[in-house]
Amino acid sequence: MHQKTQLQAETIRLISGTNTRKCMKCGKCTASCPAFAEMDISPHKFVSMVEHGEIDKLMASKSIWKCMSCFACVERCPRGVEPASIIEAVRQTVIRKQNNNYLRPENIPELLDPKIPQQALVSAFRKYSK
């Protein structure tokens, strides 16, 4: 593996605190995922792509913004791999870079909906911005 990709993968493993090698590719994470329909890369692929060092692709994927962090995959995984933590780690890697915030304050007015509780907006900022 290329040194850079190796380092990237190691960083993701470090941030997420997971061991992707434990995965035995059963797919229970993808089977449990409520956001599957919205995702371009499904949770089980996240695990194997980290294992293979394909972090750039993951950082560019739609999935990291579609994961609802419901942790169904973490709960159901028989091996304790925690795919949601990996997705979280990739998302963090993206937004920690300058000007990479996914949610900006100026976007808020158009998103506003009286049905959304304010708490959700606060959480969204936490999740999608530096």
Please report, as ranges, the residues that interact with other proteins according to CB under 8 A.
22, 24-33, 36-37, 42, 44-45, 72, 76-80
Q: Based on CB atoms, which residue is closest to other proteins, 33 or 94?
A: 33
Least distance CB 41 / other proteins (angstroms) = 10
C-alpha 113/C-alpha 72 separation (Å) is 27
Q: Based on CB atoms, which residue is closest to other proteins, 17 or 27?
A: 27
C-alpha 62/C-alpha 15 separation (Å) is 20
C-alpha 87/C-alpha 33 separation (Å) is 13
Q: Based on CB atoms, which residue is closest to other proteins, 64 or 94?
A: 64
Least distance CB 64 / other proteins (angstroms) = 18
C-alpha 70/C-alpha 83 separation (Å) is 11
What are the tokens at 6? Answer: 């190796």
Amino acid letter, residue 61: S
Least distance CB 80 / other proteins (angstroms) = 5
